[in-house]
């Protein structure tokens, strides 16, 4: 079945460092891909999404490009802030039009001042 | 503003008791979902609904039930709580033919 694999955390960075969180997926077709962010004590919020190959999703300085050839959707940010400390989830939508999402296990990001 | 709320935010119960977690959304979304979040597992789907009177089992539905009597609410019931059901529970919703889901703040459940 479809699945999402994320790099294990925690990822610890200093403020203004470059961030990459790896995400790869397995799917029978070309699903839509998502990054959600969860701040401490809160629910998940949509960060960005891409619906087809080569699409780039972007929001709040974060970017991710839908790479069909490598089945990847890596999250990047050029300069992280302390306020970016959170858990980041990669997800894909099931191709059976069920509107269900399959999530990776999450990657915790800690940004130090 | 439209929103999705969950109650209670924290719950402690004993093994064998019935527990109901509430989820209420004001977006008039057709699709609603319940997940549990556990370390190392990400979010796993428990049950979901595409509209009134429609319910479907997800990946980890054993020991849980839902009912959908109106568009706004999808309560999750643990028929006989077990310690393995200690978790954080999230409700989410999405519009018709929409993939993006919007999440509630979560309910932290402890089963002793």
Tell whether A43 lies on the interface with B, counting CB pairs under 8 A: yes
Q: Do A44 and B41 touch (CB under 8 A)?
A: no
pLDDT of residue B39: 82
Tell whether B40 lies on the interface with A, counting CB pairs under 8 A: yes
Q: Do A34 and B42 touch (CB under 8 A)?
A: no
Judge contact between B25 and A88, C-beta under 8 A: no
Among candidate residues A33, A1, A22, A15, the one with its CA nearest the CA of residue A84: A15
Q: What is the tens place of the pLDDT at every residue in A41-60?
A: 889 999 999 999 999 999 99
Q: What is the tens place of the pLDDT at every residue in B45-91?
A: 999 999 999 999 999 999 999 999 999 999 999 999 999 999 999 99
Q: Do A32 and B99 touch (CB under 8 A)?
A: yes
In this predicted structure, the answer to whether residue B40 has a pLDDT above a threshold of 90 is no
pLDDT of residue A55: 95
* Chain B neighbors of A106, CB-CB under 8 A: 42
pLDDT of residue A95: 66
Judge contact between B92 and B35, C-beta under 8 A: yes
Q: What is the tens place of the pLDDT at every residue in A46-102?
A: 999 999 999 999 999 999 999 999 999 999 999 999 999 999 999 998 767 678 899
Helix (H, G, I), strand (E, B) or coil at A18: coil
pLDDT of residue B2: 67
Q: Do B101 and A101 touch (CB under 8 A)?
A: yes
């Amino acid at each position: 079945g479809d699945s999402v694999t994320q790099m294990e955390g925690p990822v610890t960075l200093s403020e203004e460092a470059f961030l990459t969180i790896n995400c790869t997926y397995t799917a029978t077709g070309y699903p839509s891909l998502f990054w959600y962010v969860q701040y401490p004590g809160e629910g998940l919020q949509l960060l960005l999404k891409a619906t087809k190959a080569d699409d780039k999703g972007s929001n709040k300085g974060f970017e991710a490009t839908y790479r069909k050839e490598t089945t990847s959707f890596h999250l990047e940010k050029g300069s992280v802030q302390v306020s970016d400390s959170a858990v980041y989830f990669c997800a894909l939508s099931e191709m059976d039009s069920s509107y269900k999402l399959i999530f990776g296990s999450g990657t915790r990001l800690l940004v130090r001042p | 503003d439209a929103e999705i709320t969950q109650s209670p935010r924290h719950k402690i119960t004993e093994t064998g008791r019935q527990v109901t977690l509430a989820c209420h959304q004001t977006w008039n979304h057709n699709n609603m979902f319940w997940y549990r979040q556990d370390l190392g597992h990400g979010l796993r789907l428990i049950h979901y609904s595409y509209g009134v009177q429609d319910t479907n089992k997800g990946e980890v539905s054993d020991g849980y039930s839902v009912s959908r009597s109106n568009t706004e609410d999808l309560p999750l019931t643990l028929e006989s709580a077990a310690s393995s059901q200690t978790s954080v529970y999230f409700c989410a919703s999405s519009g018709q033919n929409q993939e993006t889901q919007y999440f509630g703040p979560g309910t932290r459940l402890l089963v002793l």
